[in-house]
Amino acid sequence: MVRSGLISASLGAAASLLAGGCSSDSLPTLPSLPDIAAAFGEPPVVGPPTEVYSRVARGAMACWFGTAGPLKADFVYHAEAEPPAQGGKAEIVIHERERQSDDPRGVRAYRISITPSGAKSAIATENLTLPAPLAKSMTRDVRRWAAGAIGCTDAEGGWAPEGPTPPQDPKTWQTRAKQRRGT
């Protein structure tokens, strides 16, 4: 008798589980991939404003205004940065090159603002006149540099960090010097 009661209870529990699985209540939905990416956000801005400014400025000058940089011919780099004792706020402005004037800084094309935000820094970019694809690429670069990355994106193909130069053998150096002198 006890055994038939256990079997009945087991069958009843199984039936209720199956019936619950067939109910019209919908399952919870998972977020879409863009929502998941937004939850992680952008990489954090690492360091005080002066340090972040140094990284962004170094990257911009090497990648955007370097030998093969996309902005070298038609744009001018201008920056203002406060010393750390005054807060370290910085602004980098990319101007269109004004060839007919004494001051080559023409119309503002792109702006980067770096401000203190507690123990960290906040960074904002603003496209004023650049083509949208170029401005998006530049904003990605700024975010990467602000987070501590170095080098240019592959599309720009410019600067990349070099490893330390191996020490040269003094005899090799002396031999090359003699060859240059012709002795």
- Residue 123 near residue 140, CB atoms below 8 Å: no
Distance CA 79, CA 179 (A): 45
Domain boundaries of the chain, sorted by first residue:
49-146
pLDDT (mean) for 159-177: 53
Q: Over the stretch 62-86, which tens digit does the pLDDT of each residue have?
A: 999 988 888 988 999 999 999 888 8
For residue 21, pLDDT beyond 70: no
pLDDT score at 163 = 44
- What is the model's pTM? 0.60
pLDDT score at 164 = 46
Least confident of 5-9, 48-52, 149-153: 5-9
